[in-house]
Amino acid sequence: MIDYQSIIEQIHNDISLRKNYGEVASYIPELAAINTEKFGVSLSTIKGQTYHTGDWETKFSIQSIIKVLLLSMAYSKLGGQLWQRVGVEPSGTPFNSLGTLENDAGVPRNPFSNAGAIVVSDVLLDLYEDPRQSLLAMMRKVTGTDSIHYDAKVAASEKTKGYRNVALVNLLKSLGNVHNDVEQVLDLYLDCCSIAINCKQLAKLFMFLANHGETIDGQSNLLNPSQTKRMNAIMLTCGFYDEAGDFAYKVGLPGKSGVGGGIVAVLPGEFSIAVWSPRLNEKGNSYRGLKFLEQFTSATGQSIF
């Protein structure tokens, strides 16, 4: 039996004592105001145990991590038909890249690039009467708390400076892969990125990906087992922008990061783990979050490989 509590505390202490590196995402002014030394961890196991340390109760901005849930909502309804609109290949490019889109005829390489998530947001507007409400209701139900919410300040802040996302949605529209009004699509995408959540809630939320698509309370199936396998494969290959290979190599778990400094990763059949530390490395991934997960899978020997 692995003593998760003492392992996560030990690694958290060890990393906290060392110098922290990286910058916060200044292109979202509201995120630049955050206390950069925050550092929280939460782990939920499939057997129902939870372990936490550090700032695990403090809320932060979910940012790109939400792309996994947006994709799940679209994929659960459309199945493989979705892949006509967005691919499943790692891009090897930064999250906000416009570079390959024109040559790829407006079909983003994968759903975890901004271009891909914008297309998925467009799909959600066609599939759900009120996608914001459906997303929030699902998140609240799975985590058993009403305290998860959209952060209007963060969303508004990103809307003032999100020039690349404005460019992306317009390019996608001109290439025929956005069907709804560009403003409506971008608003949905940025509102979803703004959601405030803590490590405990995030770990709990992602348990379905460790549990064949079923929520941990056994109340609903967000995805079927085959879709869950595919979702984890996309997280492993595309979950960390152009650092996905490095994450797979060092950590060995499917996961997803966001520029709010959060990272969530799962070991199918075992656990889900969320780490948050706001300073980002040059690829846009949490510096301490990556270090923590690398040490965690090394110390426990728990990875998919």
Nearer to ligand GLU, 21 or 163 (CB): 163
Alpha helices for the chain (secondary structure H): 4-17, 29-32, 66-78, 114-127, 131-143, 152-161, 163-174, 182-193, 199-205, 225-238, 244-250, 287-300
| Residue 72 C-beta: closest distance to ligand GLU, Å | 17
63 binds ligand GLU (CB under 6 A): yes
Of 157, 165, 154, the residue nearest 194 (C-alpha): 154
- In the complex with ligand GLU, which residue's Cβ is closer, 96 or 295? 96
Binders of ligand GLU: how many residues, by CB under 6 A? 11
Shorter beta-carbon distance to ligand GLU: residue 213 or 262: 262
- Does residue 119 belong to the site contacting ligand GLU (CB under 6 A)? no
Site for ligand GLU in 255-274 (CB under 6 A): 258-259
Length of the chain (residues): 305
Beta bridge mates, 41: 53, 275
Q: Which two tokens stand for residue 119?
A: 């297309």
Does 96 help bind ligand GLU (rule: CB under 6 A)?
Answer: yes
**Eight-state DSSP code of residue 209:** G
Shorter beta-carbon distance to ligand GLU: residue 158 or 270: 158
Residue given tokens 């994968």 in the structure block: 110
Which residue among 68, 69, 73, 193 contacts ligand GLU (CB under 6 A)? 193
Give yes or no for residue 285 binding ligand GLU (CB under 6 A): no
What distance separates the 2 farthest-apart alpha carbons in the chain?
A: 55
51: Cβ–Cβ under 8 A, 6 or more apart, which residues? 4, 5, 8, 42, 43
What x-and-dash track marks residues 198-237 binding ligand GLU by CB under 6 A?
Answer: ----------------------------------------
For residues 275 and 273, give the distance between their C-alpha atoms in angstroms, rounded to a whole number: 7
CB of 155 to ligand GLU, least distance (A): 9
Residue 112 CB, nearest approach to ligand GLU (Å)? 8
Q: Does residue 114 belong to the site contacting ligand GLU (CB under 6 A)?
A: yes
Q: What angle do CA 263, 58, 288 make, to 5 degrees?
A: 40
* Minimum separation from the CB atom of position 114 to ligand GLU (A): 5
Among residues 81, 175, 64, the alpha carbon closest in space to that of 127 is found at: 81
CB of 67 to ligand GLU, least distance (A): 8
- Nearest distance, CB of residue 271 and ligand GLU, angstroms: 23
Binder among 151, 158, 243, 270 for ligand GLU (CB under 6 A): 158
- 272 and 204 in contact (C-beta within 8 Å)? yes
- Amino acid at position 118, single letter: I
Does 53 participate in binding ligand GLU (rule CB under 6 A)? Answer: no
C-beta closer to ligand GLU: residue 54 or 258 = 258
By beta-carbon proximity to ligand GLU, the closer residue of 258 and 289 is 258
Minimum distance, C-beta of residue 191 to ligand GLU, in the bound complex (Å): 10
120-159 b/e (C-beta count within 10 Å ≥ 16 → b): bbbbbbeebeebeeebbebbbebbeeeebebbeebbebbb
* Residue 121 within binding range of ligand GLU, rule CB under 6 A: no
Tell me if 64 contacts ligand GLU by CB under 6 A.
Answer: yes
Q: By CB under 6 A, name the binding residues for ligand GLU.
A: 63-64, 95-96, 114, 158, 165, 193, 258-259, 284
